[in-house]
Amino acid sequence: MAQWYPKKGRVIFHVDMNSFYASVEMAYDPSLKGKPLAIAGNPEERKGIVVTSSYEARAKGVKTTMQLWEARKLCPELIVLRPNFERYRTASKEMFQMLAAITPYVQPVSIDEGYMDVTGTEEHGSPIDIAQNLQQKISNELDLPCSIGIAPNKFLAKMASDMKKPMGITILRKRDIEEKLWPLPIEEMYGVGSKTAVKMRAIEIGTIGDLADGDAYQLKQLFGINGERLKNRANGMDERPVDPDAVNEFKSIGSSQTLPVDTTDEAEIRKLMHQLAENVERRMKRKQAAGRSIQIMIRYHDRTTVTRSKKLHDYIDKKDDILYAAEDLFQKHWNTEPIRLLGITVQDADEKQNIARQLDLFTYEKEAEKEKLYTAMDHLTQKYGENTFKQLRDDTDEQPRTSFQKDFLDDF
């Protein structure tokens, strides 16, 4: 057992649920198993977006973020379901409880993946025993598949979990990286996005091994401190601990959503901005936070994306303030071309208890008056539900948004 639990090193797991949303739907309705299934924001819309898909659908070429009409063209027999976020949230919480039963050192990074530090858990057996038992427990009790990477650090564990899907268990030691890691294309390295990969190929870095041998000075000139960090990772070096408290860290809180149809309709755009501001307010309330900068993201019909931000005079956390600042930015920077996606983010955020605000008497009185209104609204919300001041809508119509996984982390 001592060889598995080194005195100085760590044993890290990366647990990655396979095709999570689709797998949860299959567990809920076993008749879907073995069939090509996609989860999409709005199956009735021609321009719905694929959120995730089953492995049977992927085999036909269906990919995440693909337009639904394109997915159906590739796979005419594709079954399409709307996302059921509460169902996924419940399954995720149960999965993380299973991880926490093994070690207190669990770090969720999204709704369907997380790290575990199993160093010193000899009572549960060897790391491979723990991984096999955990994988089987998740499969037996939740009917969900997962892949587990086992390594001495987080980066290698993440790379290992991607090497065999679904239901894979892969061990990646530092002595294995020359054989298992370095031959992989640079695009497959965690932390290397498409734009970074293009720049790396331009300097003849085509594999992870090329990056490991790359010139540190050149990489730092091109990519800043991240170039040095990526080179270290390619060489199997990563000192980051598994930090259960990392889930509470934040510098920005945002929400974005793809429109069902590219649009220039200002009424439709304003309606979405109201919804996004409401999402951001809800997340800030959960974290008891406020922020002092606002950012908008506009993605146009041709996928061109612009982000614009500005520093605010004071901290904000309420929907009306968020919306006012975001709309001001939007009006200044929208080029009137059709919009595909919108996002609103409050930046420079911190917990209210950490924010030392210097309010003059006038500002304080204004805030106090507003606080009475907010207290009354909260009271009505508790009594009558979330939608006291707007028309009720069916939760099953909720569109997928990039902030959903962060919402889950708030709850965790």
CATH of the domain at 60: 3.40.1170.60
User: CA-to-CA distance for 153 and 11, rounded, in angstroms?
Assistant: 7
Confidence class of residue 361 from pLDDT cuts 50, 70 and 90?
Answer: very low
238 is in an annotated binding site: no
pLDDT value of position 90? 94
User: CA-to-CA distance for 19 and 165, rounded, in angstroms?
Assistant: 10
CATH of the domain at 371: 3.30.1490.100
Confidence class of residue 357 from pLDDT cuts 50, 70 and 90?
Answer: very low
Based on the domain organization, do 262 and 385 belong to the same domain?
yes
User: CA-to-CA distance for 235 and 229, rounded, in angstroms?
Assistant: 10
Residue 402 lies in a domain: yes
Tell me the range of 83-92, 144-153, 357-366, 382-391 where mean pLDDT is highest. 144-153
Mean residue pLDDT across the chain:
85
Residue 380 has pLDDT above 60, yes or no: no
Based on the domain organization, do 165 and 228 belong to the same domain?
no
pLDDT value of position 376? 55
Q: What tens digit of pLDDT does each residue of 49-74 get?
A: 898 999 999 999 999 888 889 999 99
Q: What is the mean pLDDT of residues 196-220?
A: 95
Residue 349 has pLDDT above 90, yes or no: no
Q: Within 13 A of 281's CA, how many CA atoms are on the CB side?
A: 17
Based on the domain organization, do 94 and 77 belong to the same domain?
no
Which positions are catalytic? 113
Better-predicted residue by pLDDT, 367 or 287: 287
pLDDT value of position 354? 72
Residue 239 lies in a domain: no
Based on the domain organization, do 400 and 292 belong to the same domain?
yes
Last residue of a domain, one of 84, 111, 139: 84
Provide the domain count of the chain.
4
210 is in an annotated binding site: no
Based on the domain organization, do 293 and 338 belong to the same domain?
yes
pLDDT value of position 24? 97
Residue 303 lies in a domain: yes
Based on the domain organization, do 260 and 401 belong to the same domain?
yes
pLDDT value of position 268? 93
CA dihedral for 158, 24, 402, 349, sign (positive or negative):
negative
| CA distance to 113, 256, 276, 278, 401, per residue, from 85 (Å) | 16, 16, 17, 18, 10
Residue 31 lies in a domain: yes
Based on the domain organization, do 30 and 120 belong to the same domain?
no
Q: What percent of the chain has pLDDT over 90?
A: 67
Based on the domain organization, do 284 and 396 belong to the same domain?
yes
Confidence class of residue 140 from pLDDT cuts 50, 70 and 90?
Answer: very high
User: CA-to-CA distance for 194 and 53, rounded, in angstroms?
Assistant: 21
Write out the residue range of the structural domain in which residue 196 sits.
187-232
Based on the domain organization, do 399 and 283 belong to the same domain?
yes
Residue 366 has pLDDT above 80, yes or no: no
Last residue of a domain, one of 84, 102, 120: 84
Residue 300 lies in a domain: yes
Based on the domain organization, do 317 and 212 belong to the same domain?
no
pLDDT value of position 367? 47
Confidence class of residue 400 from pLDDT cuts 50, 70 and 90?
Answer: very low
Residue 256 has pLDDT above 60, yes or no: yes
Confidence class of residue 402 from pLDDT cuts 50, 70 and 90?
Answer: very low
Based on the domain organization, do 282 and 372 belong to the same domain?
yes
Based on the domain organization, do 273 and 375 belong to the same domain?
yes
CATH of the domain at 203: 1.10.150
Confidence class of residue 118 from pLDDT cuts 50, 70 and 90?
Answer: very high
